[in-house]
Amino acid sequence: MPKRGRKRAAAATCPMPAFRDFWIFTAPCDRKRSAHNLRRARHVMPSSKNRARIGLLVRNRILLFCLFAFAASARAAPTELVEEAPVSIKQLSAEVVLLDFGRVTFGNLKLAPLAGASGSLTVHLGEALVGDRINRTPPGAVRYAKVVVAMTGDRSVVVAPPPDKRNTTPPAILTPPEWGTLLPFRWVELEGWRGKLEPGQVVRRSAYVRGWPTTAASFHTNDEVLNRIWELGRDSIKATSFAGVFVDGDRERIPYEADAYLNQLSFYACNPDPTMVRDTFDRLVQFPTWPTEWAPHLVFMAYADWMQTGDRKWLAARYESLKRKLLLERAGPEGLIRSNPEQIRRGDIVDWPAGERDQFEFSTVNTVVNAFHLRAVELMARLADALERQDDALEYKTRYRVTRTVFLKRLFDPARGLFRDGEGVDHSSLHANLFPLAFGLVPEEKRAAVAEWLAQRGMVCSVYAAQYLLQALFENGQDEAALALMTAPGNRSWRHMLESGTTITWEAWDQSYKPNQDWNHAWGAAPVNLLPTYVLGVRPRTPGWSEIEIRPARRALLWSEGRVPTPRGPIEVRWDRQPHFHLRVSLPKGVAAHVALPPGDGTSRVFVNGREAAATRDGAWLMVRATVSDTALIELR
């Protein structure tokens, strides 16, 4: 095992769909019948036909074991257990104590009883509270566990919940067995604790990726709800790093491509280390999952890594594997991706859960599937350029240009100014328009109208699709609408998550939309990457952050400040609209910033460190001509 992975579990394997397909491919009979044949083999002499079947079954089991063992060797970022004290202790009765650890993390407990302690102690751990007691029957996949512990003297005891077979055996990502079972929990009840509970007698052992940079990122603005939403996202990304690769929550603990890409964006907004991102990427190349649109997300991940690190060596080693993620095997003669009935039935996903699709009508030529294909081809052309694969770059640029023309001709309705869900379909869903707008596929002269339409429709999509919806709105002048959707009343916003008391983002907006949802799902942490990018306004302009762009939000907020971690060091920005717009920036060595300012009423002159600077108007922005470096004060007067 590589040195980096020695403290990790020995078995961390592929997603369930890959396992299921493998079994179907290799076994001549179904699993129930195979098990029946295996039981019969213990009692009767099998026929030659049955001996062949049993032999094949045994070989299949050996192959599966080898598959899991091979997957176990896949790398994962190093993780560690961190001991944390409760933030509050409440005596509920003579022998019942409630402990609050402040936030949900994945971990277990360590008890240090007083000398002479004896008898049993009942420990309850949970994510949800009802009144002053832990919810013993929480909904869906919300976690609760009960453990009875024998107290013997003053010896420390690790309290780990019983394992859940689904997420502690392959194909789930496993954690080191010496740690004991990990559970996401915030609250602990101790029943049978005699005497006063002293500080230090109970600590939570929380698992995180090793060396988490606690102060690397920050974000504040005049809207306290937005501040709390950003903190919720930050805490979610840290807490869900427990496995060393990005997993989809506690229910399965399996990597999926779309989850991983959204997780990557938010992880980089908190932690510039690419190790966990890259280990997740490599695992998903080996063990892809089933949804159609998930495959292009690996191209998105590779491009995001390239912009984050500028690392050609890492990219070059994985470039060829990305070609298999473009869906080209499904392209028709005109270039559009086509779906057969089975792919329509199980494959093309549009959004998840299924009830969040805004009544999307599936068809052979699916607008969402083709939008993902085109975006992946566009990014592949950029990656080919970065690696000086000129033939590939030309091929992808030509394919993008030609196919986009067909895409617009076949799927965009000029009369309504909207995309239809697919060819031969009259319905225009939110999704058929949010993805093309986010990917720059909407004709430029139509973008403002499509953005306005999306803003009026609101959050009629899942937590997953919200990343793209809000990105599309921010990119097309709808800052106020995007922020309003984040903080909207009702049960379809991050405000609702905050008001529910959760400290990790959910898999869905509410239990009513996905009854089996996880309460610990990192794909719901989109604001942690969107707010620094579009409110603070910081993003890379060139790979590796040697040049950046600072383009603050144009409206809605009075001020914002924060720290953005990069491989070159932290970028610190504060802007304020009062008494006139001004921006302070502190940059790491070797970073140059291109600054765009939102002009206010009566302000058109730009000053950098007290000296007037040249600027040009670009639409709604004033572009400072000269780049800035080190520290600078930029003002509009």
Question: Looking at the DSSP assignment, which residues form a beta bridge with residue 274?
Answer: none
pLDDT, one tens digit per residue, over 546-582 is 999 999 998 889 999 999 999 999 999 999 998 899 9
Q: Does 79-209 match 538-636 in CATH topology?
A: no
- Measured over the CA atoms of residue 282, residue 285, residue 286 and residue 289, the dihedral's sign is positive
Predicted pLDDT at 26? 26
In the predicted model, residues of the chain with pLDDT beneath 70 are: 1-74, 115-116, 601
496 secondary structure, DSSP code:
H
Residue spans of the domains in the chain: they are 3-72, 79-209, 290-461, 538-636
CA angle 578, 223, 520 (to 5 degrees): 150
Predicted pLDDT at 48? 54
Fold assignment, 538-636: Maltose phosphorylase, domain 3 (2.60.420)
Q: What is the rounded distance in angstroms from the CA atom of residue 378 to the CA atom of residue 393?
A: 9
Predicted pLDDT at 573? 98
Q: What is the rounded distance in angstroms from the CA atom of residue 329 to the CA atom of residue 324?
A: 9
DSSP string covering 530-573 = HHIIIII-EEESSGGGSEEEE----SS-SEEEEEE--TT--EEE
The highest-level CATH class for domain 290-461 is mainly alpha
pTM, rounded to two decimals: 0.89
Closest CA to 522 of 150, 237, 329: 237
Predicted pLDDT at 16? 33
pLDDT, one tens digit per residue, over 129-186 is 999 999 999 999 999 999 999 887 778 899 999 999 999 999 999 999 999 999 999 9
Q: Is the peptide bond before 540 cis (omega within 30 degrees of 0)?
A: no
pLDDT, one tens digit per residue, over 3-16 is 333 333 333 333 33
pLDDT, one tens digit per residue, over 449-496 is 999 999 999 999 999 999 999 999 999 999 999 999 999 999 999 999
Predicted pLDDT at 286? 96
The highest-level CATH class for domain 79-209 is mainly beta
